[in-house]
Amino acid sequence: MRRHAALVRVTHWLTFVAFVALLISGCEIVISHPRFYWGEEGNVNTRPLIVLPIPASRDTVPTHYHYVMPDQNGWSRYLHFEAAWVAVLTGLVYFVYGFFSGHFRRRLLPSRQDWTWRAYRGRLMKYLRGSWSEPGEGFSYNVLQQSAYLVVIFILFPLIIWTGLAMSPSFTSAFPATAALLGGRQSARTIHFFVSCLLLLFLLVHITMVSLSGFRSRMGAMIVGTSRKSKEVE
């Protein structure tokens, strides 16, 4: 029976493709200047908050390496910008659908009895014992999955968009509070990097759980939208 609505499947795969493009291009952008600062200004003459132990693609950036990486900063920034808008527009469509169709309420909002420490601890202990899925979980999300999706959708995604806009000189010139509330453009870049790392961690955990709990059935449901069950679930 139906497992995922068509719009959920389309937005899921568009978001995945956009995220991969953002990840590849974002890595190239970071390599061009693998130093992070806090505040409004940040350059090679500014004391960095964090220095990534990787070589840079610019010889003007001081590193402990005696060579520079190939400079791919041009196409990577263009791809990052285009993929970001694909992700934003796709996310907006999914958010509107999830809110007005009741998708968030039915699928992602934990029930009152699950919104307890006992429920979180119980599900976590089952994971640690190797119990990745239970009967019926292929058609619904447990409390840990629901909480993770809610954090990603309503906290990490809005924050990654906010910090991305706060790094744009043209956008901050029109809306200076966008960067000021974060402590400056360099602060926004630093927050953007760490939020990206959290999203990457979520993706890796998500793929691992899908693989361990039934890769073929869950992937098939996200592609064609149906799975074997006597009860229809959207």
Q: What CA–CA distance (Å, rounded) separates 34 from 56?
A: 6
**Residue of 76, 73, 93, 71 lying closest to 14 (CA atoms):** 93
User: What is the assigned CATH class of domain 6-224?
Assistant: mainly alpha
Query: Which pLDDT belongs to residue 232?
Result: 39
Query: Which pLDDT belongs to residue 141?
Result: 73
Burial of 66 per CB tally in 10 Å (0-12, 13-18, 19+): exposed
Q: What is the pLDDT along the chain (234 residues), one digit of tens a residue?
A: 677 888 999 999 999 999 999 999 999 999 999 999 999 999 989 999 999 999 999 888 988 888 889 888 889 999 999 999 999 999 999 999 999 998 888 888 877 777 777 777 777 777 666 665 554 444 467 778 888 899 999 999 999 999 999 999 999 999 999 999 999 999 999 999 999 999 999 999 888 888 877 788 788 888 887 766 544 344
Q: What CA–CA distance (Å, rounded) separates 157 from 16?
A: 13
Which residues face 118 on adjacent strands? none
Q: What CA–CA distance (Å, rounded) separates 191 from 203?
A: 18
- Whole-prediction pTM: 0.86
Query: Which pLDDT belongs to residue 230?
Result: 40
SS3 71: coil
**Residue of 183, 198, 187, 192 lying closest to 26 (CA atoms):** 192
Q: What CA–CA distance (Å, rounded) separates 179 from 11?
A: 29
Domain segments of the chain: what residues? 6-224
Angle of CA points 158, 160, 162, to nearest 5°? 65
Alpha carbon separation from 145 to 24, 49, 76, 80, 156 (Å, rounded): 26, 33, 32, 28, 15
| Main-chain dihedrals φ then ψ at residue 2, nearest 5 degrees | -65, 130
